[in-house]
């Protein structure tokens, strides 16, 4: 199977969690990584860890909710490595609470990061890839979206449902330019510091209760997340676009 060796990969939200795991894995496999995050200290630490291991990673402090900041990240990738081959739009935020208790400012923040932030990324990434002959884009979604509902997570789910809708539209629009656009709807991945742990704490759910809800009987492993994203970024997935790959241990099938 082809991978990401030699590809230039942009990954948003690299300071911790899934983003950092993906950045380190892609760099270890030979990709040249450009990562961004609002947490500059942790983002630079991630880049330093990659570089010290012999990989290539450039970090840019940026908030995806800021369109000009996103343009700077994409411009940096092109200036540093000459092109952009693949992009993983991972940056996101999550809040918990019942719909009846929802506040506009909370929903506004979710929309600004999870939806408008994705729009900013797609605009710049597609334009860059159009100029160099194509590429692959992976938008990180969730099984908590338009697939299934989880109590106290409705606002987040609404934005992730929007991610899936934007993915399909972007895929259709960019197909003629040899650009693949897909989303990865994943369930709980066992990565320290990831958002799933905050959700469990907020809702008083024990990890073993969560694991019992998956037919496979466990959370996803980091390497399984990496494998799914690697595939969607690889040349093996050239005929795959406008789709949603579900990575959930059978959760949504039951």
Q: Where are the domains of the chain?
A: 8-245
Higher pLDDT, 254 or 58: 58
Kindly state the average pLDDT of the residues 230-240. 97
pLDDT tens-place string over residues 206-234 = 877 777 888 999 989 999 999 999 999 99
Q: Quick one: average pLDDT of 174-203?
A: 86
CATH number of this structure's domain 8-245: 3.40.50.720
Predicted pLDDT at 159: 97
Q: What is the mean pLDDT of the chain?
A: 94
Shortest CA distance to 252 belongs to which of 215, 210, 221, 217?
Answer: 215
Answer whether residue 1 shows pLDDT above 60.
Answer: no
How sure is the predictor about 201, in pLDDT bands with cuts at 50, 70 and 90? confident
pLDDT given for residue 213 in this prediction: 83
173-177 average pLDDT score: 98
Q: What is the pLDDT of residues 28-77, one digit of tens each?
A: 999 999 999 999 999 999 999 999 999 999 999 999 999 999 999 999 99
Rounded CA separation 10/85 (Å): 8
Active-site residue among 156, 231, 239, 251? 156
Give the CA diameter of the chain: 50
Residue 125 has pLDDT above 60, yes or no: yes
**Comparing 174 with 191, which gets the higher pLDDT?**
174
Between residues 95 and 55, the one the model is more confident about = 55
Handedness of CA 206, 207, 212, 215 (dihedral sign): positive
Q: Rounded CA gap, 36 and 58, in Å? A: 9
Strand partners, 11: 35, 88
Let me know: does 90 contact 10? Beta carbons within 8 Å: no
**Could you confirm whether 81 is annotated as catalytic?**
no
Which of 115, 21, 14 is CA-nearest to residue 73? 14
């Amino acid at each position: 199977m082809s991978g990401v060796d030699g590809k230039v990969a942009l990954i948003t939200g690299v300071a911790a969690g899934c983003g950092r795991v993906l950045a380190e894995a892609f760099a270890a496999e030979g990709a040249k990584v450009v990562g961004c995050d609002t947490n500059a200290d942790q983002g630079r630490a991630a880049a330093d860890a990659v570089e010290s291991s012999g990989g290539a990673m450039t970090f840019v402090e940026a908030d995806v909710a800021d369109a000009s900041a996103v343009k700077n990240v994409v411009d940096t990738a092109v200036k540093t490595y000459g092109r952009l081959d693949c992009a993983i739009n991972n940056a996101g935020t999550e809040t918990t609470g019942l719909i009846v208790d929802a506040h506009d400012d909370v929903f506004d923040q979710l929309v600004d990061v999870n939806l408008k932030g994705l729009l900013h990324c797609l605009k710049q990434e597609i334009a860059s890839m159009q100029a160099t002959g194509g590429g692959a884009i992976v938008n990180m979604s969730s099984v908590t979206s338009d697939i299934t509902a989880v109590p106290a997570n409705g606002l987040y789910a609404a934005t992730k449902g929007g991610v899936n809708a934007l993915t399909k539209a972007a895929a259709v629009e960019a197909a003629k330019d040899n650009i693949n656009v897909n989303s990865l709807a994943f369930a709980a991945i066992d990565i320290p510091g990831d958002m799933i742990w905050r959700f469990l704490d907020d809702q008083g759910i024990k990890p073993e209760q969560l694991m019992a809800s998956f037919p496979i009987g466990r959370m996803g492993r980091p390497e399984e997340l990496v494998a799914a994203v690697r595939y969607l970024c690889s040349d093996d997935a050239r005929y795959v676009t406008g789709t949603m790959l579900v990575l959930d241990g059978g959760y949504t099938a039951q």
